Copies of this chain bind each other. A is one copy, B any other.
Amino acid sequence: MRTRTAPKADPSSLAARFQAVRGLSVALVAPLSDADASVQSMDDASPAKWHLAHTTWFLETFVLRDFVSDYALYDDRFPFLFNSYYEAEGQRHARGRRGMVTRPALGEVIAYRAHVDAAVLAALPDLADAARDLVMLGCHHEEQHQELLITDVLHLMAQNPIEPAVWPAARKVPVAMPGPLGWIEGVAGVIEIGHGGDDFAFDCEGPRHAALLSPHALATRTVTNGEWADFIADGGYADARHWLSDGWAWVRGQAIFAPLYWERSDSGWTRFGLDGRRAIDPAAPVTHVSFYEADAYASWAGARLPSEAEWEAMASAQDPESGNQLDAAGPVEPRPATAGGGWFGDVWEWTGSAFRPYPGFRAVEGAVGEYNGKFMSGQCVLRGGSCATPRGHVRASYRNFFYPHQRWQFTGVRLAKDL
């Protein structure tokens, strides 16, 4: 997990929310075998079982251990195994070795979840405000891990030469190709961004503060697979002029020639997804591209990436619960744009902004506070949520962040330009 500010939550709706969130995680692993849930496909990814256990450890530690007086740990070996990066919480298992932990098995982790869930629900009515806030934080934390779980499972299946589908394909509704990219002029001058209210937000979203925008416009929609295929066909991956120096070194060093999971077949480009390998949909938003690729595409297109302030200023008028977001377990993927939508869901949109603290930002004290402040170097901000983001999780002020080469999340591109 990565941060927060003051959450607020009333007991009964909190219990319902808690049960819904916890239930969705278990639903997500329903199609997985014990092995599927235990293997780690790369250092950046974690086993599905680890996500299930780590989110549970979070609740057990910060809620039950710290606020429920007679609570005994379910298994005193679990904190070492399932702590992620909370240095203040003591030693932890090396991140890249998470896939070695074949025991406890998936079933045992699900039993651990049930135990902790029951304990939290039993304690909830009498819990102090601070602890209820932590339960709410735990829900948001878990939603973040749900998205990671989905993308980590996708990455694992992609390593298997037989490319198993996690779910059968969803029925596709035919959609017309989106028209040419339009532009929306943004407001210029001093505006306000960042989270400011009393409802839940992660620490890095605040404080709310003034920002200054130059005259600019943002594209009406994100870049599509069809447009990306044009970029490839035009030699986009082979022309150093479009690329940042670090990006060019990455493209050459890793032999990158298309988005992650794309392969060329006799009949054109295909992509691997949660429903297996299929032809790309030219009308759908391109995804699984890195910041380097996003920036190179923008350069090739004579445009640039939006700043996070430009993005937030425009998206703050939109409904953050709209769009193609995660509602239930299934083979989520970005879908062709429909008119007027697209600020939330489908793909996280790379911005040109480095992930740095806002003016007046202060890290929270204590272990739970080890969230976002410490990640504020070397990463880029993404906005808007994706098809794998649980609906209700994201906001206009929500700041996601990844390193510029990473692309196993559902990451895409919206263009911007100066006016």
Q: Which residues of A contact B (CB under 8 A)?
A: 33-39, 41, 77, 80-81, 85, 87-88, 93, 97, 99-103, 105-106, 156, 159-162, 164, 190, 209-212, 214, 216, 240-241, 243-248, 291-292, 295, 304, 352-354, 356-357, 359-360, 374-378, 404, 418
In-complex Cβ contact of A77 among B162, B190, B377, B404 (8 A): B162
Assuming the contacts A244-B376, A295-B377, asked whether A100 and B41 have C-beta atoms less than 8 A apart, the reply is yes
A247 surroundings in chain B (CB, below 8 A): 377
Known contacts A97-B159, A377-B295, A404-B378: A35-B106 contact under CB 8 Å? yes
Q: Which residues of B contact A100 (CB under 8 A)?
A: 39, 41, 156, 159-160
Is A378 touching B101 in the complex (CB atoms < 8 A)?
A: no
Inter-subunit contact B41/A38 (CB<8 Å):
no
* A243, B374: Cα distance in complex, Å: 7
Set B39, B240, B404, B418: member contacting A99, Cβ < 8 A? B39
Q: Which residues of B contact A404 (CB under 8 A)?
A: 377-378
Given A88-B241, A99-B99, list of 16 further CB < 8 A pairs?
Answer: A33-B102, A34-B34, A38-B38, A39-B99, A39-B100, A87-B240, A101-B160, A210-B214, A243-B374, A244-B374, A245-B375, A245-B377, A353-B356, A354-B356, A359-B418, A378-B404
Residues of B within 8 A of A211 (CB): 212
A162 contacts across to B, CB distance below 8 A: 77, 81, 101, 103
| Residue from the set A85, A99, A211 with the largest chain B CB neighbour count within 10 Å | A99
Q: Is the CB of B377 within 8 A of A156?
A: no
**A360: contacting residue among B37, B240, B357, B418, CB under 8 A:** B418
| Among B93, B102, B248, contact of A39 (Cβ-Cβ < 8 Å) | B102
Q: Which residues of B contact A105 (CB under 8 A)?
A: 33, 35
Q: Which residues of B contact A33 (CB under 8 A)?
A: 34, 102-103, 105
CA distance A413 to B282 in the complex (A): 50
Q: A352 contacts which chain B residues (CB < 8 A)?
A: 356-357
The CA-CA distance from A404 to B356 in the complex, in Å, is: 13
Residues of B within 8 A of A81 (CB): 161-162
C-alpha spacing A216/B241, complex, angstroms: 39
